[in-house]
Every structure is written in structure tokens, then in C-alpha cells.
Amino acid sequence: MNAIVDRYSEVFLRKAELATKKQELIDQVITLELKAKLAAIEFEFADAETELNQQLSEAEAEVKKFVLEAGETVKGQVHMAVYSKPRVSWDNKMLEGLALVIPQVNDAKTVGQPSVSIRLLK
């Protein structure tokens, strides 16, 4: 079984190595003069981007607050803020205990499919 995960890791590492080699070649092509010009452009737009990011963050908070208070989805001309009802959760241990005494509680139970997430070891 570990061979399956190790195969995934092998492909993952080969992909990362390919990206590194690609970036090295790009860095060889871009001259110091061009890098300086790119840095100047980044610097020129940095303050405006920071300001717009702040304004966007504030507008997002305002939209979320409005939609939560309205309790419904709100559509604009470009974006839509979707309201989602709160999720309901249950105390599983308590319900399993109740099911021992009241077997009909099991009729309300559904079991979903298991899932897998792949994580990088640290």
C-alpha cells in the first residue's frame, strides 16, 4: 500500500523539479535590466493595489453583514452574495447512546462516503 503513496510522491517531486528547472531557465533569459523594470512597475502599482485590497475587504465585510441580516441571497449586476442556512450538527455519542434505548433513532441516521485528502508530510 505504501508503494501507491510513494508513486504519488515520486510524480509530485518530479513535477516540482520540472517547475524549478523551468523557473531557472526563465531567470537566465530575463536580464537584470528587465528585472529592474519589472520591479519598478510593481513598485508603481503597489500603493494602489494595497488601497484597493483594503477597500475590497471592507466592501466584502459590508456585503456579508447585509446578507446575513437579510437572511437571503442578494444579486448585483456583476456579483451575487449567496446566503447559506446554518448547518445543523448533532452530538453523535449522545444519539448513539439513545439508539441503544430507542432503536428507531437509527432510522434517522445516514452514513456518507469516506474521503481521502493527500497532505505533504512536514
> pLDDT by residue (tens digit) across 1-34?
699 999 999 999 999 999 999 999 999 999 999 9
What local confidence, expressed as pLDDT, does residue 119 receive?
87
What local confidence, expressed as pLDDT, does residue 1 receive?
64
Question: Both ends of the chain: CA-CA distance in Å?
Answer: 21
pTM above 0.95, yes or no: no
Distances in Å between the Cα of 116 and the Cα atoms of 7, 64, 119 are 16, 31, 10
φ/ψ region of 90 (left if φ > 0, alpha if ψ in -120 to 50, else beta) reads beta
Q: How confident is the model at residue 77 (pLDDT cuts 50, 70, 90)?
A: very high
CB 81, CB 67: distance < 8 Å: yes
Name the grid cell of 19. 517547475
What local confidence, expressed as pLDDT, does residue 120 receive?
86
Q: pLDDT tens digits, residue range 28-74?
A: 999 999 999 999 999 999 999 999 999 999 999 999 999 999 999 99
Q: CB count, 10 Å around CB of 44?
A: 9
Mean pLDDT estimate for the chain: 94
Residue of higher predicted confidence among 53 and 117: 53
Angle, vertex CA 12, rays to CA 9 and CA 13, nearest 5: 85
